[in-house]
Every structure is written in C-alpha cells, then in structure tokens.
C-alpha cells in the first residue's frame, strides 16, 4: 500500500472521526471565528419573538460575509412593503430555534443560507446546523435560497444540506431550492428568478395581495443640528467615538475591527494599468494574533471622486446630519447613527459596484418624469438591463446619469438610497507573512483592480486595492498619489487613520501547513495566489533557524506570472531556498515570454514524476488564487496524474481527490 492509497483509507477514517467528533470540531472552529456572539437565552426564543412582535412571516439567514443577510433583508422588505406582511428577519446566530416546531403552521419561513469553505455552513450557523440535524418540523413550510460559487467542489452545499435535513425533519418546501452562483456572477439574476417563482407559489399558501408597489421606509429619518462627540464620522463602532475616548476594542473581531498602523507599504511591480501592493500592518501593540495561512479582513472606504459623483447624481447635501430609528423594533440600524450624508456615502455604503436590476426597479419610482416609463421597462427586462447597464460596467451613479443624460435624480428620498444600497463589507486577503517569523506584522499582497469605463471614461475600480495603493504611494512620496485615477481621504474619520492606519480583523482559515514537518508539500499559487505560500516558506525558514526542523519534507512551489516584470518577491526566493537547504524548489511558469502560453498546470505535467513520488510519500497539496479557471485546471491536471499513476479511471481519481479534500490533504484557498 503506497501513500495515496493510505490517503483514501485515512480519509474514510477521518470522515468517521469528523462525524463522531462533530461537536468538538465545531467548537474548535467556532473558537477561531470572526465573531462569536450566539446568544441562546430564553428572551430570543423565535416563537416568542414572533408573538411579541405580532409577526406573521419569518425570514432567517445564515451569512458569512453579509451577502445572504443582504438578500434576506431585501426579501423581507419586499414582503413587507409590497404585501403588507409583518416580517421578522433574523440571523440564525442571534435567535433560539429550539421551539421552531411550535411555530403556528400558517407562518412560513424563508431561509437564506451561504456556503463557506469546503461546503460548510457559515461560522455563525453552527448551532443552526446542529439543530436541523435532529429537528422534527412536520408543520413547517419553508422556502430556501442558497448562496454559493460553482467553482468550489461543494457548490451551495450548506443550502443543499439544509434541504436534506429539513426534508428528513418532515418540513414542506414551497417552490424550488434557489441556488445563487457567485462564480458565474449571476447571484442577482438567480435570486430574482427564484423570487419571482417563489412568490407565485406562495400565493397558494398565504394571502399575498399586492398592497402597493412604492417605496415604504423601514426607518424614521430625522435631522440633527450639530455634530457632537456621539456623531459617527466614519467610525465603524462606538469604540472609536470621542465620547468613548477613542478606546480601541480589546477583543478584535468582525464586529470590532481594530484601527491598525501600516508599518510599511510598497509597490511590488507596476506595468501599464497593473499594480501590486505589498502592505505590512503593525500588530505589535494590539491583541491581534494570527497563524500562518489565515486571512486578514480590511475595511475599506470610498474614493473622494466617487462620493462626489454620487452626491451630485442625487443632489444630496453632504453635511446634513441625520439619525435613523427603526419603525420595527426587531430591525437593526444598517450602519451607526447619527452621522452625516457624506460620511454614510464614504464609509458605510457600497456606491461603486455593479448595479442590480432590483435597485433600478426601486429607484424607478423617482426617475425624472421624461424617462420614468423607460426606466421601469428596463428594470423589468433582464436582457435589456444586462446589455444597457451591466455590460457597460456602470456603477449606480454612472447608470442613472447615463439614463437621464446627465440630469440629477433629485427626487430619490435619502431613506430610499440608504435602504437600497448594500452596506460596505471588508475585503479578505490571504496573509503573506508567517506568524512565527513575523509575529508583529501581517503582510498583504494585493493586485490593484483597475479599469477605465469605455463609455463614461471614468475609472471602474476596486475600492480596497486602490485605497491600499493610495496609502502606499502616500507613505513613500505624498506627491506621487497624483498619478492615481482617484484619491482617498486617508486621514479617516476625525483623523483616526492619520499616520497611515486602517481597520482590520483576522479570519482564521483551515489552510494550514502540516504540523509534521516531514510531510512533503506541493504548493500551487500563480499571481497573488503565491501570498500564503510566501507565508508558508517563511514559516519553514523560521523553523530551520530555530532548530525545529530535522527531517523536513520536500517543498515544491509552482508559481506563475506573465514575465520577469511581474514576478512577485523575485529577490526573496533564492534566499529562502538556500536557508531551506535544498528542500525547497520553486518552479515558475512565465505565460508571456514565448508564443506558447505556459501556465502552472503545464509545469505540473512536466514534473509529473516528482509529484507522483511526493504524493506516494503522503504529500499535502495546496492551491491558492483564481477559483474560476486556475483551481479547476490544476485539479484536472492532478486528477490525470493520479489516474495515470494508479491505472484508474479519471472518475476514480476524482473520488480520490475528493477524499483528499475531506482529509485536509488537498487544500484550496481560492477566490
Ligand atoms: P471591489 O470594489 O470589491 O470590486 C471588485 C471588482 O469589481 C474589481 O475588479 C472592480 O474593478 C470591479 N468593479 C467595480 N465596480 C464595478 C462595476 N460597476 N461593474 C463591474 N465591475 C466593477 N486578492 C489579492 O489581491 N490578494 C490576496 O491575497 C487575496 N486573497 C483573498 C482571500 C480570500 C479568502 C478572498 C475571498 C479573496 C481574496 N482576494 C485576494 C480578493 C480580494 O478579497 C478582493 O476581492 C480584491 O482585492 C478586490 O477588492 P476591491 O475592494 O479592490 O474591489
């Protein structure tokens, strides 16, 4: 029996252990989570909450990065405003579901569930998953929409598992399981067609007579005269308000990010329209801890030009200070208040991403009269919308000004914009430093996302990556930021980010080196996919330096870039190699140096013999970077390799890879 066969056998064993140790394992994962705030006291009993607040429809969501939450809230809002239902919309993490089986049978539940990692439920949904696995819910009627990404092996697996468990619990699915696919970029349209069909089917179960189609606010908006120490000027939490003496949180999490100094930043390469930034956060005076292979979450804010364009489009008064009060006590504020209009646009709302058809539909009510009919028809026509708006890569302001030929949309109420736009979310990066070698800094390697809109001539850009570039340029030569297409107010709210700082938190990831240093590792990471492998190698170099590395296994890194100009950390690798004493080998695929394109999967083929040998010794495989093409191509290559080596079919080799994934022997960190 060789190493690969052992892998399959041990996969079965590990699967059994995972099953038996489910509770312990989940606890372990939970202890590493972004935010552990599940409260299960009697006061948040779901049935009691429904009764106390006179609700007749329940929407529950399990969200990892906020997308499922966003869709759940939109669905709840539509049921409320269009059909007059009294909807309770809650995160499964924050409610006690033990009594769900006692929910009156006329109340329907709509679930929105994201899939995270290797087909897992979101971190905050551990108790929910456990509850479903043993629940008896024969009176429950529900709808279900999953949010996933087809590029992952376990596409929408959490929603599929929920469906299986709900079926076994005897609950009744209304309509069909909806599957949103972020990999194809179709989540919005998947949701809209699922919603249309589901609402049709729901008619047969509850009274859904359309009361009104117009916008109905969920919050009472009031204006405030003066800025005080309690006014939010971009602070993400009350921790940093003057009224709290700008006291940083002691426990850093997604709900309490830490404004962290940037010690060092530089441009790794620059070619026309392409930049890559290396940023180092200094965590020495913080309670932030990370492990090699973890993710850092960076909280961005919008560029000056984009904020100004948005305010002009809607004729908004930037300095107006406003407060929001939920009209329904079960609803939370979308962002901290009181605050100013400009602050909300700069720090709290996503204003530059692609436009959704539903957003246009909501705003169409307030379109300038001459174009109103056209805007309404465009928002109802999937194909025309795709061609006229999505394909043109417009943000909301671009799209509306294009439709109105430059005329401001001054009739749109501010409350409507607040409720229609998404809330700004942090962006995740694979940490490129090592926790043992770099305990006081976290390194990020980010490619700057940049494009010029062909129609407006204005830049279409990534919010965070351009912010990081702006900071990097400013740190090295303040005048050089002029070359950027946009500028950011990098001093932050009340100069909180002055001296180059940004709010961050850590998300722990299962993407980890084996603790047994003798296990060989095969790493595949083209482009910025090399980020965690720089961390892995620095980790191993540190182990050698501290004498912990007798009998270290072989390390092969397959890296890909266009040519020598965009070769990331080119000067560092030879040094690592010499310190690792021949155990580390880097194989580089340069895709644009000859007529024949060469990618990492070609290099894998060339080194098939060595790879098979390492796999038979029980090597771990790690893949990081592009999920859409690269990770699939790499998996196909390795599958073919195993199939040839073992003389088995591609299907059987695919099953072996699946087993390796379950076993942690084949790990992916792809996006
Ligand atoms: P966003 O503002 O989120 O925009 C995303 C893209 O949409 C950009 O390309 C932008 O140009 C485009 N866009 C903006 N507006 C529009 C519009 N109106 N129409 C059409 N397109 C538009 N990235 C790295 O570089 N390095 C890493 O190590 C890394 N690790 C990651 C690890 C994980 C776990 C995950 C999930 C992602 C990782 N990423 C990494 C990707 C990273 O999180 C961000 O997605 C990326 O940097 C873009 O963020 P942004 O805020 O700059 O762009």
Instruction: For residue 211, report the distance from its CA to the centre of ligand 1, in Å.
Output: 40
Instruction: For residue 85, report the distance from its CA to the centre of ligand 1, in Å.
Output: 37
Q: Do residues 116 and 122 make contact, with C-beta atoms less than 8 angstroms apart?
A: yes
For residue 524, list its beta bridge partners.
558, 623
Instruction: For residue range 606-629, list pLDDT tens digits in order.
Output: 999 999 999 999 999 999 999 889
Of residues 138, 85, 87, 84, the one with CA closest to residue 112:
87
Confirm whether 32-202 and 214-509 share one CATH topology: no
Domain residue limits, the chain: 32-202, 214-509, 521-670
pLDDT at 19: 38
pLDDT at 459: 83
Fold for 214-509, please state it.
Answer: NADPH-cytochrome p450 Reductase; Chain A, domain 3 (1.20.990)
> Which of 279, 353, 527 most suits a substitution to test ligand 1, by most atoms within 8 Å of the C-beta?
353
**Which residue lies with its CA nearest to atom 20 of ligand 1?**
393
Given a cut of 50, whether residue 307 has pLDDT beyond it is: yes
Q: Which atom of ligand 1 is nearest to the CA of 532?
A: 28
Given a cut of 90, whether residue 36 has pLDDT beyond it is: no
pLDDT (average), residues 495-513: 96
**Which residue lies with its CA nearest to atom 30 of ligand 1?**
429
ipTM reported for the complex, 2 dp: 0.99
User: Tokens 């529900």, residue?
Assistant: 142
Q: 644-651: list long-range contacts, CB under 8 Å, 24+ apart.
A: 644/608, 645/4, 645/612, 645/615, 645/616, 646/4
Choosing among 3.40.630.190, 3.40.50.1580, 3.40.50.2300, 3.40.50.360, the CATH entry for 32-202 is: 3.40.50.360
Q: Using pLDDT thresholds of 50, 70 and 90, give the confidence band for residue 545.
A: confident
d(CA 320, CA 311): 12
pLDDT at 2: 52
Pocket lining: 464 vs ligand 1, CB cutoff 6 Å: yes
Pocket lining: 149 vs ligand 1, CB cutoff 6 Å: no
Pocket lining: 292 vs ligand 1, CB cutoff 6 Å: no
d(CA 491, CA 501): 8
CA–CA distances in Å: residue 284 to residues 267, 281, 430, 490, 539: 23, 9, 20, 22, 18
pLDDT (average), residues 179-192: 94
Of residues 507, 571, 517, the one with CA closest to residue 542:
517
Given a cut of 90, whether residue 48 has pLDDT beyond it is: yes
pLDDT (average), residues 477-503: 96
Given a cut of 80, whether residue 371 has pLDDT beyond it is: yes
Q: Phi and psi at residue 28, in whole multiples of 5°?
A: -65, -45
Buried b (16+ CB within 10 A) or exposed e, 316-335: beeeebbebeeeeeebeebb
d(CA 178, CA 247): 44
Q: Which atom of ligand 1 is nearest to the CA of 468?
A: 52
Q: Which atom of ligand 1 is nearest to the CA of 350?
A: 2
Of residues 25, 17, 16, 13, the one with CA closest to residue 130:
25
pLDDT at 15: 43
Instruction: For residue 424, report the distance from its CA to the centre of ligand 1, in Å.
Output: 13
SS3 9: helix
Given a cut of 80, whether residue 31 has pLDDT beyond it is: no
Pocket lining: 463 vs ligand 1, CB cutoff 6 Å: yes
CATH 3.30.70.1450 fits 521-670, yes or no: no
Residues above pLDDT 70, as percent of the chain: 93
Given a cut of 70, whether residue 13 has pLDDT beyond it is: no
pLDDT at 65: 86
d(CA 314, CA 614): 61
Pocket lining: 291 vs ligand 1, CB cutoff 6 Å: no
Please count the other Cβ atoms lying within 10 Å of the Cβ belonging to residue 203. 11
Instruction: For residue 150, report the distance from its CA to the centre of ligand 1, in Å.
Output: 18
Q: Using pLDDT thresholds of 50, 70 and 90, give the confidence band for residue 14.
A: very low
d(CA 213, CA 366): 12
Instruction: For residue 447, report the distance from its CA to the centre of ligand 1, in Å.
Output: 9
Q: Using pLDDT thresholds of 50, 70 and 90, give the confidence band for residue 23.
A: very low
pLDDT (average), residues 322-351: 97
Q: Using pLDDT thresholds of 50, 70 and 90, give the confidence band for residue 450.
A: confident
Q: Which atom of ligand 1 is nearest to the CA of 355?
A: 18
- How buried is 499 (Cβ within 10 angstroms: 0-12 exposed, 13-18 middle, 19+ buried)? exposed
- The single-letter DSSP state of residue 390 is I
Alpha helices per DSSP H over 518-598 = 531-545, 573-579
**Which residue lies with its CA nearest to atom 44 of ligand 1?**
427
Given a cut of 70, whether residue 22 has pLDDT beyond it is: no
Q: Which atom of ligand 1 is nearest to the CA of 467?
A: 52
d(CA 121, CA 158): 5
Tokens of 103: 């929910």
> Which of 357, 444, 460, 529 most suits a substitution to test ligand 1, by most atoms within 8 Å of the C-beta?
460
d(CA 576, CA 584): 8
SS3 146: strand
Q: Using pLDDT thresholds of 50, 70 and 90, give the confidence band for residue 32.
A: very low
Q: Using pLDDT thresholds of 50, 70 and 90, give the confidence band for residue 20.
A: very low
Instruction: State the chain's mean pLDDT as an integer.
Output: 92
pLDDT at 502: 98
pLDDT at 9: 45
Pocket lining: 449 vs ligand 1, CB cutoff 6 Å: yes
Q: Do residues 414 and 221 make contact, with C-beta atoms less than 8 angstroms apart?
A: yes
Q: Using pLDDT thresholds of 50, 70 and 90, give the confidence band for residue 37.
A: very low
Q: Using pLDDT thresholds of 50, 70 and 90, give the confidence band for residue 41.
A: very low
For residue 258, list its beta bridge partners.
504
**By mean pLDDT, which of 139-148, 322-331, 442-451, 548-557 is the weakest?**
548-557
Pocket lining: 507 vs ligand 1, CB cutoff 6 Å: no
């Amino acid at each position: 029996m060789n190493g690969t066969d052992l892998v399959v056998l041990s996969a079965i064993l590990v699967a059994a252990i995972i099953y038996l140790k489910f509770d312990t394992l989940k606890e372990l994962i939970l202890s590493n989570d972004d935010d552990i705030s599940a409260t299960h006291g009697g006061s948040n009993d779901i049935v009691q909450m429904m009764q106390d607040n006179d609700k007749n429809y329940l929407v529950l969501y399990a969200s990892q990065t906020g997308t499922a939450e966003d869709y759940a809230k939109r669905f709840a809002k539509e049921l409320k405003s269009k059909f007059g239902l009294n909807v309770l919309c809650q995160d499964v993490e924050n409610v006690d579901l033990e009594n769900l089986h006692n929910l009156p049978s006329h109340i329907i539940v709509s679930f929105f569930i994201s899939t995270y990692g290797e087909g897992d439920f979101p971190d905050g949904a551990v108790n929910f998953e456990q509850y479903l696995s043993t629940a008896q819910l024969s009176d429950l009627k529900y709808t279900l929409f999953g949010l996933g990404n087809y590029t992952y092996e376990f596409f929408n697996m959490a929603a599929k598992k929920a469906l299986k468990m709900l079926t076994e619990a005897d609950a009744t699915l209304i309509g069909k399981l909806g599957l949103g696919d972020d990999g194809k970029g179709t989540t919005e349209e998947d949701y809209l067609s699922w919603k249309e069909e589901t609402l049709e089917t729901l008619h047969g179960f509850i009274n859904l007579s359309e009361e009104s189609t117009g916008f109905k606010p969920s919050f009472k908006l009031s204006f405030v005269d003066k800025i005080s120490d309690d006014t939010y000027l971009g602070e993400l939490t009350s921790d940093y308000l003057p009224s709290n003496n700008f006291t940083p949180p002691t426990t850093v999490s997604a709900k309490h990010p830490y404004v962290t100094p940037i010690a060092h930043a530089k441009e790794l390469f620059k070619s026309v329209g392409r930049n890559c930034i290396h940023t180092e956060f200094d965590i020495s005076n913080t309670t932030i801890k990370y492990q090699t292979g973890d993710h850092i979450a960076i909280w961005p804010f919008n560029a000056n030009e984009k904020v100004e364009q948005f305010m002009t489009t809607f004729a908004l008064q930037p300095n107006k200070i406003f407060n929001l009060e939920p009209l329904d006590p079960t609803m939370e504020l979308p962002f901290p208040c009181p605050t100013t209009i400009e602050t909300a646009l700069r720090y709290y709302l996503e204003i530059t991403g692609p436009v959704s058809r539903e957003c246009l539909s909501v705003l169409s009510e307030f379109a300038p009269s001459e174009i109103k009919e056209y805007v309404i028809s465009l928002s109802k026509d999937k194909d025309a919308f795709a061609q006229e708006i999505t394909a043109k890569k417009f943000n909301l302001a671009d799209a509306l000004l294009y439709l109105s030929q430059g005329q401001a949309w001054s009739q749109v109420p501010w409350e409507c914009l607040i409720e229609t736009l998404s809330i700004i979310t942090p962006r995740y990066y694979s940490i490129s430093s090592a926790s043992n070698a770099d305990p006081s800094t976290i390194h990020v390697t980010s490619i700057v996302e940049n494009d010029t809109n062909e129609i407006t001539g204005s830049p279409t850009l990534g919010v965070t990556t351009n912010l990081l570039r702006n900071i990097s340029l400013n740190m090295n030569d303040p005048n050089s930021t002029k070359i950027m297409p946009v500028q950011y107010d990098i001093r932050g709210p009340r100069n909180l980010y002055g001296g180059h700082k940004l709010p961050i938190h850590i998300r722990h990831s299962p993407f980890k080196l084996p603790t047994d240093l003798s296990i060989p590792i095969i790493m595949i990471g083209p482009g910025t996919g090399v980020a965690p492998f720089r961390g892995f190698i620095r980790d191993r170099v540190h182990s050698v330096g501290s004498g912990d590395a007798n009998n270290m296994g072989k390390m092969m890194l397959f890296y890909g870039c266009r040519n020598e100009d965009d070769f990331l950390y080119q000067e560092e690798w030879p040094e690592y190699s010499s310190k690792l004493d021949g155990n580390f080998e880097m194989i580089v695929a340069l895709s644009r140096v000859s007529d024949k394109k060469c990618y990492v999967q070609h290099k894998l083929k060339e080194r098939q013999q060595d790879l098979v040998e390492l796999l038979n010794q029980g090597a771990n495989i790690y893949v990081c970077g592009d999920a859409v093409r690269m990770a699939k191509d790499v998996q196909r290559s390795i599958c073919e390799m195993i199939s040839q080596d073992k003389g088995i079919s591609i299907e059987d080799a695919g099953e072996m890879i699946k087993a390796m994934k379950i076993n942690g022997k084949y790990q992916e960190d792809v996006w």
